[in-house]
Amino acid sequence: MTTSTNSRIVAGSLDTLSPNPEDWIFVDIGFSQKQKSCGIAIGDSRPRTIQYNRLFHEISIEFLKHKPFLNLLIEAPLSVAFNTRGNPTGRSFEKRNADTRYWYDKAGPATLLATMHLLRKISFEEIQIRTEIRLFEGFASFKQKKGKSSHENDVEMLREIALGRSTEGRYVDGEELKMDRNDILQSAFAVAGMNFGIPLAIVVE
């Protein structure tokens, strides 16, 4: 059987950032059999923690409102990098001094896999998505320690930066994602036949 991905899922960029909270869904994704492992905020709503199986339902409600576009930020690797030898390598924002949070190490592969399953479900489910879905990558692994870390806090911090309401973060795009200029960047999901391009990364400092 031949299937194709939803062509309305595209990589978000600096040009498609929106200051309007109603244009956004923010997700801190996780994989767990029983725990509420995902944080989510729809626009300016209060961040909540839900189980992974609820993510698609929550997100698809917004898609079915038939808005022209929605910006979907997910805290997970949405692009990957390989060096000239073909080995995985980090991206520029994944290293801070001696600390690293590479996409292929620690929690990176689990969140990448969780996102792959979510986007595949969005792409192949028989729902009439007329909305253009713009993907943005969130990264909060090196955030300053201000109280107990939680999925809700990560979603809140990423939202404030994405909407331009906080200066405690930055945007990383295009060639700036590379740790070395010769590295090869690609969509994290191209290997599964879902090439959504290289999204802008929104990084909490």
Q: Which residue has the higher pLDDT, 129 or 164?
A: 164
Tens of pLDDT, residue by residue over 165-185, are 999 999 999 999 999 999 999
Q: What is the pLDDT of residue 148?
A: 54
Q: What is the pLDDT of residue 128?
A: 63
State mean pLDDT over 104-109: 96
Whether the CB-CB separation of 65 and 19 falls below 8 Å is answered with no
State mean pLDDT over 126-140: 85
Q: What is the pLDDT of residue 154?
A: 95
Domain residue spans of the chain: 9-204
Going from the C-alpha of 34 to that of each of 38, 53, 108, the distances in angstroms are 12, 10, 20
Q: Is the dihedral of CA 176, 69, 158, 122 positive or negative?
A: negative
Q: What is the pLDDT of residue 87?
A: 99
Q: What is the pLDDT of residue 6?
A: 52
Number of helical H runs and strand E runs in the chain: 3, 12
Q: Which residue has the higher pLDDT, 39 or 143?
A: 39
Q: How confident is the model at residue 74 (pLDDT cuts 50, 70, 90)?
A: very high
Q: What is the pLDDT of residue 124?
A: 80
